[in-house]
Amino acid sequence: MAKYSVFDCSVIELDRHHSDRKGNLSVVENGITLPFDVKRIYYLYDVPGGESRGSHAHKELEQLIVAASGSFRVTLDDGRTKRTFFLNRPYQGLYVKPGLWRDLDDFSSGAVCVVLASDVYRAEDYIRDYKDFIKFRNE
Ligand code: TYD
What does the domain layout of the chain look like in residue ranges?
Answer: 6-138
Identify whether the C-beta of residue 16 lies closer than 8 Å to the C-beta of residue 26. Answer: yes
Q: Residue with the nearest Cα to atom 19 of ligand 1?
A: 121
**Residue 2 has what pLDDT?**
75
Q: What residues have CB less than 8 Å from 47, skipping those under 6 apart?
A: 53, 72, 107, 111, 113
Q: Which of 17, 18, 56, 58 is catalytic?
A: 56
* Digit-coded pLDDT (tens) for 32-86: 999 999 999 999 999 999 999 999 999 999 999 999 999 999 999 999 999 999 9
Identify whether the C-beta of residue 81 lies closer than 8 Å to the C-beta of residue 6. Answer: yes
Residue 70 Cβ inside 6 Å of ligand 1? The answer reads: no
Give me the mean pLDDT over the 2-9 stretch: 95
Give me the mean pLDDT over the 116-128 stretch: 98
Identify whether the C-beta of residue 98 lies closer than 8 Å to the C-beta of residue 61. Answer: yes
Max Cα distance, the chain (Å): 55
Identify whether the C-beta of residue 38 lies closer than 8 Å to the C-beta of residue 108. Answer: no
Average model confidence (pLDDT) for the chain?
97
Q: Is 1's pLDDT higher than 80?
A: no
**Residue 20 has what pLDDT?**
96
Residue 105 Cβ inside 6 Å of ligand 1? The answer reads: no
**Residue 136 has what pLDDT?**
98
Count the residues in the chain.
139
What is the best residue among 41, 42, 118 to mutate for testing ligand 1's pocket, by most ligand atoms within 8 Å of CB?
Answer: 42
Say how many Å lie between the CA of residue 92 and the centre of ligand 1.
23
Give me the mean pLDDT over the 128-133 stretch: 98
Catalytic residue at 58? no
Ligand 1 atom nearest to CA at 120: 22
Fold designation for 6-138: Jelly Rolls (2.60.120)
